[in-house]
Structure 1
Amino acid sequence: MKQEAQQLEKNRVRKRSMMIRFTDDELQFLKEKMEDAGFSNNREAYLRKMALDGYVIKQDFAGLSDVVYQLSRIGNNLNQMTRIANTHGDIELSELKEIKKGIDQIWQLLTSKA
């Protein structure tokens, strides 16, 4: 038995190994992903394939700060208009145009990032 193990090790193409730790939940998720990919009986092959050929999607949300800022400005303008409407009963056309301008700026930001 020991001689067979030594012979297997000698003939092994991949001689380097790595250890990786998982939680029980992560292992269950890994098992499901393996089954979906058709690797249900060879975890080592699946992990090797993902490590060598897989990719990570990095999402950049830097542009969202501009959108959040513009939305905040529109929210402030709407609050001011609501106070004016409740106090005086009418709203200036120039205020509505300002809100429309802010919405147009947000739309431009969103469509330029897409």
Structure 2
Amino acid sequence: MKDQVQKSKKKYKRKGQRKEVLFKDDEWDIVKSKAASMNLSTTKYIVKMALSCDYAPQAIFGFAELTRELSKIGTNINQLARKANAVNNIYAEDYERMREEYARLCLLLKRKISTLRRTAV
């Protein structure tokens, strides 16, 4: 009798890795809803999304331009500070250039944040 029980257990043994994921209640409701809308079980839906999602590389990839712009602005601010300290004055055109670069930085930040919000959903 023991041999029959052991044989039947081997017959139904699953292949693969089992992992546990903890969802908050509101997150789980969203997962269930999306799985149902695709006519999938929650397990199949989670596996499908995990294998098809390229979220992390996209989120990190777009910051190179932003980092370059921040570096340029930092360099310009340092140049203005050195100049202002040397002559105890700052020219209006230098101030205007710094203000324009600051505005451009704000615009880039808003665009990046907007993009990240769209891709995070």
After the TM superposition, list the runs of 4 or more consecutive aligned residues in structure 1 that deviate by more than 3 angstroms.
7-10, 33-37, 48-51
**Unaligned 5+ residue runs, structure 1?**
21-29, 38-47
Normalising by structure 1, what TM-score?
0.60
CA distance in 1, matches of 2:75, 2:43: 52
Q: Equivalent residue for 1:44?
A: none
**Unaligned 5+ residue runs, structure 2?**
26-41, 115-121
Identical positions, percent: 21
**SS of residue matched to 2:6:** helix
Higher share of residues assigned helix? 2
* 1:18 aligned residue (7, 16, 35): 16
Note the 1:65-76 alignment, pairs <5 A: 65-76=64-75
**SS of residue matched to 1:18:** coil
Matched, 1:52 2:47: yes
Summarize deviations over 1:9-32 as a string: whole Å, max 9, x none.
45x3xx541258xxxxxxxxx67x
Normalising by structure 2, what TM-score?
0.57
CA RMSD of aligned residues (A): 3.1
Q: CA deviation at 1:49?
A: 3.2
User: Do the aligned partners of residues 78 and 7 (structure 1) sit closer, same or farther apart at CA in structure 2, a change above 3 Å counting?
Assistant: closer
Q: Which protein has the larger Cα radius of gyration, Structure 1 or Structure 2?
A: 1
